[in-house]
Structure 1
Amino acid sequence: MTKKINNGADKAVYTTCRCNCGSNSQCILKAHVRDGVVVAVEPDDRYNTGVGREDEVLSERDLIKTHLQRRPCTKGLVFHKYMYHPDRILYPLKRTPNSRRGEGKYTRISWDEALTTIAGNMQAIRQKYGRYSIITPYMPNGTVERLFSFWGAGVDSWGWCSYDASRMMAHIVAGERGWDYHEYMSGSAADMLANSKMIVIWGYDPTVGSSGPAHQLGWFIKLCRERGRPVIIIDPRYSVGAEILADQWIPIKPGTDHAMFLALAYQLFKNEQWNKQFVEKYVEPDGFAKWKNYVLGKSDSTPKTPEFAEKICAVPAETIRALAELIATVKPAWLLAHWSLSRKSRGESTVRAFAALQAMMGYWGTPGAGPPLIIGPRRNIPVNASWGPPGDYEAPKMYRSHYWAQAVLLLDQVRSGELSEAEYMRRTGWRTDPSLVKDFHPKMLFWGGGNKPHASDHVVTACESANTQVKAMLKMDFIVTMHSIMTASTRYADVILPAQDWMWEEKNVFQSGAYGGFECINYCPGVVDPPGEVRPWVWVYTKLAEKLGIDPKKFFKYYTTDENWDQDWERYQKEGYHGVVDYYKKRNIVVPSWEEFSQGKFINCDELDEKPFTGWDAQIKDGKPFKTKSGKIEFYSDYIADQTNRGTGQHRDHTGRVYENLPADWGELTPLAVYENAVRGMDDPMVKKYPLMMLAPHARYRVHYLFWDHHWLKDHIYRHRVWLSATDANARGIKDDDPVKVHNDQGTVVMPAYVTTRLMPGLIVIHHGGKFLPDESGVDFGGSPSTLLGGDVKSCITPAKAANLVQVEKYQGNQK
């Protein structure tokens, strides 16, 4: 199906990294290929070739135009080794007869047998249990949703991770749908360097979370600091970023940033330092009045003073006052509230409070002011061609993807009468017709993972207990997944399909991921041929559609025959790239031809604009109204205030557009951003039993489930440990490297301790994505924080909660 691209001679090929680390498709690698094998990888050399310190030779304009090498980080430079991983899946597999799910025993089968088995199970399960019996786990799968649309059955989930709270608030506050990134992402690294006078960051370490090629955003922050602009980082951890980039580090209790935003707003109101002209022009007045009365304490008799905030967030009142004065006088200040703040209970209110604070400062679309919602840039560049119209069936969004297992397991309680349908819908994030609960019979799990060639390793990446997910998987009649390597999740499948590596083996045009800082359009040219019987993922769906009796040309309109697949796929790619060419042609900008682009002359979007990207141009520069009902920024939601809207299924705004991240029952979500203590946070009464709050940030050398088995990034490079403050360790008699038991009502993890002074007391850190290695009782010896997540059945389900309360004690049992 693919032709060999090498005949023994070395060949240099440019490609883009698909690591999904926050730089997603930003970094460029120069791969050296010999005999169809990647033998060496170099960083980007298309700009400033041979220059190490680019800032020493570039002008300020060059820096602002980002005429820079898009160098990858360590993870990108070693990613090619995954193609040759000993656990690489090379052929379709079926679970060996009489083996148990989770044992990992599989037998090789043909593609025809695999697709016939999958289609046969889909048809049998649909016939027995109805059209709502085939589901997806975390994350939603847009491609199988398309398959379902032609087949007339199936269920998909809704919601991803990172910043779902911001996606929801983009619609509620600004009238922009959560997935229309180009409408509400704002600010850029170039804008920060060109225009900001000060930088204040909440909850983010720029040396780990990339938000640009490798750590380029962190480097731009360093350049700003070298130009005399103060940098303040507010974070519970004394991170590497706080250590090397910041002039001041302010520790704060996690989950309480909202209280600090309220106190900053109070100081702005008290000292008449808010932007009255901006608010009058762009903010809906009744909601603003409610916000002002709440902040000043007129509506609840509690002024949100710095002293009020100090009791909650543990930041001294004098520090908050000083910060408020800095923000009010050093303008424009580049303020960034990272999405980590919202990945806790009531995170949606944290997002809304910060957006309100930015509006008070007049910092929506203002050069040098940072993003009120999510950092950009994101331009409305059409990259992907259409596959053709979908079918007539629309797969219902029956549950929040993180809580797919609860959606399965709680049904028994509903049908026994222990749990009401209304409570079931609230706990699972139901987002469709309530009458369908009675028809929901989940019996087959089809892989999730978005529009990717592989499934997500949901057991360790979803914000739900791994053990709960295992219980739900064991209730399935049939499970099918697709991946390139064996993971904690694939081990429970009945059929596993081998997936291409989308960075090295797939051909695809990519617009850089919506994680901010910079923007580009790059290409993965299919650097090497896939091994074994690995097939393109779209081909797999197309052939499965055919097995189900669907015309494959309707599923993927470019398909002609299997023999012509490579040509069909390139035709699709070229047509998508024509959209990019047309976008820039309308702006009188010439971009590389397809031939030039596919050979490595990729597009640096930032250098093609006259000025750095700021966002909100339509409203702030062109004078168009916001897409809210009032046409302005709305601090108060009339829709949420109207309780008759609760529980009605799929919610729609005043124009009929679906609120894509708002569940039917939004729990304790309030119409105004009022402060409430986080459920399972440091002020929850549950601390009496579980006194430590666990955070699950990304590690420097790990991305989600990737790199845990990478032999170049183990041992002395990265040691997976539970981070514990020296204060909490001493109180428990725990020393560095002691085995400890971390537990709560969701699960138990056993792993070594790392005792540090870089954490506030009362916190622990277990880095996200660790392997799930359970013993017979479900105790996890791999150290996955997901084993400990879940349990919040009170607050709004939209935030992807990556924190929980736990207890830590010395482990006295046998080491596994």
Structure 2
Amino acid sequence: MTKHFDFNRLANLLTPSRRGFLKGAAATTATALVGGKAAPARAFAYEPYPRDDDLTTVVTSCAHNCGSRHMLVAHKKGDVIVRLSTDNGSYQGDAYGTDTEEKPQLRACLRGRSYRLRLYSPERLLYPMKRVGARGEAKFKRISWEQALTEISERMVHLRETYGPTALLDQSYAGASYGVLHKSDQIEGLLGRFMGMFGCRTNSWSVPSYQGTTSSSRWTFGTIQDGNEDDAFAHSKLIIMWGWNPAYTFHGGNTFYYMRLAKQRGCKFVLIDPQYTDSASAYDAWWIPIRPNTDAAMLAGMAYHIFATNRHDQAFIDRFVQGMDPGTMPEWAKGQESFREYIEGTSDGIAKTPEWASEICGVPAENIIKLAEMYADTKPAALKASWAPGRAAYGEQYNRMAAAVQAMTGNIGILGGCAEGVGKGWHAESIAYPYDANSNIWYASIKSDRWAHIVLNYPNVSREEAGLWPRSDNLDGVIPNIRGIFWQGSDWLNQLTNINKEIEAIRKLDSYGEGESLLVCMDSTITPTGIWADYLLPIATHFERHDVALPWYKGHYYIHRPKVIEPLGESKTDFQVFTELAYRLGFGPAYNPRASRDYFHDPDAVDEAYLVAWWEKVQSHQGVTWSWEEFKKRGVYKFVLPEPHVAFRDQIEKGVPFETPSGKIEIFSTTLAQVQDWTRTQWGYHIPAIPKWIEPWESLNHEKAKEYPFHMITPHPRWRTHSIFNNIPWLRETFSQETTMNTADAKRLGIVTGDTIELWNERGKVVTPVHVTERCMPGVVVLFEGSWMDLDENGVDRSGNPDFLTLDNPSPAGAFAYNTILVDVRKSELAHRPGWDQLATARSHVFRRDY
């Protein structure tokens, strides 16, 4: 039987009724007046209030890509979570308070600790909903699961049969559903398996956070498993935080802890960033302000000085590196340009000196020289090349240049060094559901943020514009005729580049007529993306389904996620929804081989069976001795590694080949050097075989800066995970969406802290408050990504979402240009609306009406 969430029961648990409160107050007053004696004080203002002894404690975790998946401990009364705490060191069987370098506590951050407000928020989706208003008007009515799944499956069949196998676009991502069983993911996810088996799927191949970095790591190292575990940072003597703010974004969860250990052991810290961050303040870092998108030029200047002063590690280069200099070029490429020849200007006549770099990046040449010497002379040193500078036009060149500097100094494969581009560390067993030949079938694969361009210009789109992945069949080069989108675990309409262009594409889909398009949003919460959908499907949160949490990118642990409470309203898991749709479309048993048709109503036994089989893999592959029942009882398994995991240690110490065509670190890329026809690659455009400085299409050095004189960067905020948690009142009270700008710029424009400003370019306009500070370099403005779009009647975004200003042009290797934005700024009388939670009734009122 479907269980419905009783909001009245929650209210009775957490808040007394007005009548009860007044009755109790009157009684207290009467008692106090008898004999003139004061009533005894009570510990709580309201009774009854659930105390710890009255609550059931359940270990679980967070589920989002905030940089980790830390432990959450749910304290519940009946079927209601009333409080969340976190790891105290005792859950693995250790003593209370255990927190060591080998086995640190997995403490949740402020986002995870606030999750109860998301779970029970006014924006919570409780029932299937169908659009009844105009597209984007946010008018929906409640319908049954039977109606929703019948209409969706019928529409899917119509679109596939009418418009072909590319008509449905998969826009799944790891935002709201990520575990070993319930997984939203572009490659390994449940939606991709479902759509591929259905025979209609256009895939999105590029990852917004780090695609330029991914491309770089694959070309250079042959893998994205290029990260040390973060305990290795504790052994560094120098850490260069290149565009990295681990106080806000960390991979593995205990990054800050290990870096604090490094600081206590004498490590020095450097920050290269247009803004002075909280991380720089915490570690007393030397701050080097740099013009956005010029990082590759500064790295080239460092490389020049390292070569010129003979500070490079030639023995390391000769043994492990391809293409660093003429002597390490492969025989088949003799005579082609090596990295050193480019840096010294042998081939193009331009020596990439620190002075040359200084003119481009705005960093004094003496500081470039000083940093180059610090890095080359300090062993071991970690140049942590963060993803953020790679989220830019030609961002892959920054990451490739950083890898070259890491390699030339021999800081790869050693404890305390760093090879990181992508930074994925210790390997986890990541999949519990069926992962087989059906798991990643696609009929077209495009660069993720080019879907709107394809819809608006179809069929007059070249394959390079689309970023179309090559195939070996008759669909190779065929531009997808996109007629529908599934958003699963993603708020991509709010998060991809050039939102106004996306909205225009959505309206074009709507113009095709009734039944000729399909937009489905699957989430636990009403999102800005959901507002534009045809159907909203309520998905159970990780508190309401059985799963296991993986660390995200780093961290060596697993956390059991039991079903803490029953799903609210009529929520279902993604796996339930896709299984039922698969049965309706004729391939249910193949999609979910452990389940019967009853899985839609009772998934618990099947989910348990998948997880038990997964745990047996963990026991076999990773030497875990605990039984499944012991793991469930404890809630967390923390691996104690014999030594810190260091990427490429075996390659450097044991001679194991790198996973590249040459078996070496490829600064000169075999893959890129051997491309014959760039239009027939997913990249579409020429990419040099060695890392080079390439001028981005917008920067402070560009002619366009005369019209738009500020370069905007869009870092990740501390109080959101992209757009997730934007509607949490506790977090909104602590932090606000505002633009940061330099004091001198503000003074020139007559702007002071607290003013409302508008920021605009030819793509859009947004409105925010402003914070004026010296912690941001002149000519740069900082606006955190992820605020929930809120358009006025003129199309101005009142929430301050910077992706109304970003450009969706394809950077060749797939990098998203989130930090390549020129804008102008002025003081404004336009309204800023700080968030849905601060409207009188939130947006939930549109989902509670009958239309």
Distance 2:832 2:373 in 1: 53
One-letter amino acid of the counterpart of residue 529, structure 2 = S
One-letter amino acid of the counterpart of residue 67, structure 2 = G
Structure 2 residue runs without a partner (length 5+)? 14-49, 174-185, 323-327, 331-335, 510-516, 834-851
Equivalent residue in structure 2 for 1:409, among 452, 456, 477: 456
Q: Look up the SS of the partner of 1:527 in the other structure.
A: coil
Cα 1:797–1:246 shift into 2, 3 Å: same
**Hey, what does 1:487 align to over in structure 2?**
527
Is structure 2 residue 806 aligned with structure 1 residue 806?
no
Equivalent residue in structure 1 for 2:77, among 24, 28, 34: 34
Is structure 2 residue 774 aligned with structure 1 residue 757?
yes
Cα 1:505–1:802 shift into 2, 3 Å: farther
Query: Does the CA-based 8 Å contact 1:295-1:304 persist in structure 2?
Result: yes
Distance 1:299 1:271 in 2: 21
Distance 1:439 1:340 in 2: 31
Equivalent residue in structure 2 for 1:162, among 188, 209, 213: 209
Query: Does the CA-based 8 Å contact 2:700-2:711 persist in structure 1?
Result: yes
Q: Look up the SS of the partner of 1:538 in the other structure.
A: helix
**Hey, what does 1:567 align to over in structure 2?**
605
Cα 1:238–1:596 shift into 2, 3 Å: same
Query: Does the CA-based 8 Å contact 1:22-1:513 persist in structure 2?
Result: yes
Is structure 2 residue 708 aligned with structure 1 residue 690?
yes
Is structure 2 residue 61 aligned with structure 1 residue 16?
yes
**Hey, what does 1:400 align to over in structure 2?**
447
One-letter amino acid of the counterpart of residue 212, structure 1 = G
Distance 1:136 1:593 in 2: 37
Equivalent residue in structure 2 for 1:700, among 693, 707, 718: 718
**Hey, what does 1:190 align to over in structure 2?**
231
Most deviating of 796-805 and 719-728: 796-805
Higher alpha-carbon Rg: 2
**Hey, what does 1:224 align to over in structure 2?**
262
**Hey, what does 1:286 align to over in structure 2?**
329
One-letter amino acid of the counterpart of residue 502, structure 2 = Q
Distance 2:729 2:420 in 1: 41
Report percent identity of matched pairs: 29
Distance 2:526 2:426 in 1: 34
Q: Look up the SS of the partner of 1:185 in the other structure.
A: coil
Distance 1:39 1:119 in 2: 38
Q: Deviations over 1:592-646 (max 9, x none)?
A: 22112123342223x2x21111111442233222222222111122432345231
Most deviating of 391-400 and 310-319: 391-400
Q: Look up the SS of the partner of 1:116 in the other structure.
A: helix
Is structure 2 residue 108 aligned with structure 1 residue 72?
yes
Shift of 1:39: 0.8
**Hey, what does 1:351 align to over in structure 2?**
399
Is structure 2 residue 567 aligned with structure 1 residue 530?
yes
Distance 2:481 2:249 in 1: 40
TM-score, normalized by length of structure 2? 0.84
Map residues 540-559 of structure 1 onto 2, 5 A cutoff: 540-550=577-587, 552-559=588-595
Map residues 592-741 of structure 1 onto 2, 5 A cutoff: 592-605=626-639, 607=640, 609-642=641-674, 644-649=676-681, 663-665=682-684, 667-715=685-733, 717-741=734-758
Q: Look up the SS of the partner of 1:713 in the other structure.
A: helix
Shift of 1:346: 0.9
**Hey, what does 1:658 align to over in structure 2?**
none
Query: Does the CA-based 8 Å contact 2:390-2:815 persist in structure 1?
Result: no
Distance 1:273 1:785 in 2: 42
Shift of 1:675: 0.7
Equivalent residue in structure 1 for 2:546, among 507, 512, 526: 507
Cα 1:567–1:393 shift into 2, 3 Å: closer
Shift of 1:16: 1.2
Query: Does the CA-based 8 Å contact 1:266-1:296 persist in structure 2?
Result: yes
Distance 2:820 2:426 in 1: 29
Distance 2:479 2:91 in 1: 61
Distance 2:246 2:761 in 1: 31
Query: Does the CA-based 8 Å contact 2:125-2:524 persist in structure 1?
Result: yes
Distance 2:808 2:116 in 1: 38
Shift of 1:368: 0.8
Is structure 2 residue 489 aligned with structure 1 residue 471?
no
Q: Deviations over 1:42-85 (max 9, x none)?
A: 1211349999997xx97xxx42x1x2221111111111221101
Distance 1:207 1:544 in 2: 42
Distance 2:313 2:440 in 1: 49
Equivalent residue in structure 2 for 1:768, among 785, 792, 810: 785
Distance 2:721 2:430 in 1: 25
**Hey, what does 2:412 align to over in structure 1?**
364
**Hey, what does 1:656 align to over in structure 2?**
none
Shift of 1:234: 1.6
Query: Does the CA-based 8 Å contact 1:150-1:390 persist in structure 2?
Result: no
Query: Does the CA-based 8 Å contact 2:197-2:441 persist in structure 1?
Result: no
**Hey, what does 1:417 align to over in structure 2?**
none
Distance 1:130 1:393 in 2: 18
Query: Does the CA-based 8 Å contact 2:172-2:489 persist in structure 1?
Result: no
Q: Deviations over 1:326-382 (max 9, x none)?
A: 222221112211111101111101111111111111122111112242334222x42
Shift of 1:317: 1.3
**Hey, what does 1:234 align to over in structure 2?**
272
Distance 1:391 1:52 in 2: 46
Shift of 1:491: 0.8
Equivalent residue in structure 2 for 1:84, among 98, 110, 120: 120
Q: Deviations over 1:102-145 (max 9, x none)?
A: 11111111111111000010111222222221123474373222
Cα 1:348–1:429 shift into 2, 3 Å: same
Structure 1 residue runs without a partner (length 5+)? 415-420, 448-453, 650-662
Cα 1:4–1:440 shift into 2, 3 Å: closer
Query: Does the CA-based 8 Å contact 2:495-2:786 persist in structure 1?
Result: yes
**Hey, what does 1:655 align to over in structure 2?**
none
Shift of 1:431: 1.3
Distance 1:375 1:471 in 2: 36
Distance 2:602 2:719 in 1: 40
Aligned-pair Cα RMSD in Å: 2.7
Q: Look up the SS of the partner of 1:186 in the other structure.
A: coil
Shift of 1:735: 1.9
Query: Does the CA-based 8 Å contact 1:432-1:664 persist in structure 2?
Result: no
Distance 2:816 2:799 in 1: 26
Q: Look up the SS of the partner of 1:530 in the other structure.
A: coil
One-letter amino acid of the counterpart of residue 163, structure 1 = Y
Q: Deviations over 1:734-785 (max 9, x none)?
A: 2222221111111111222222221001111111101111123321111111
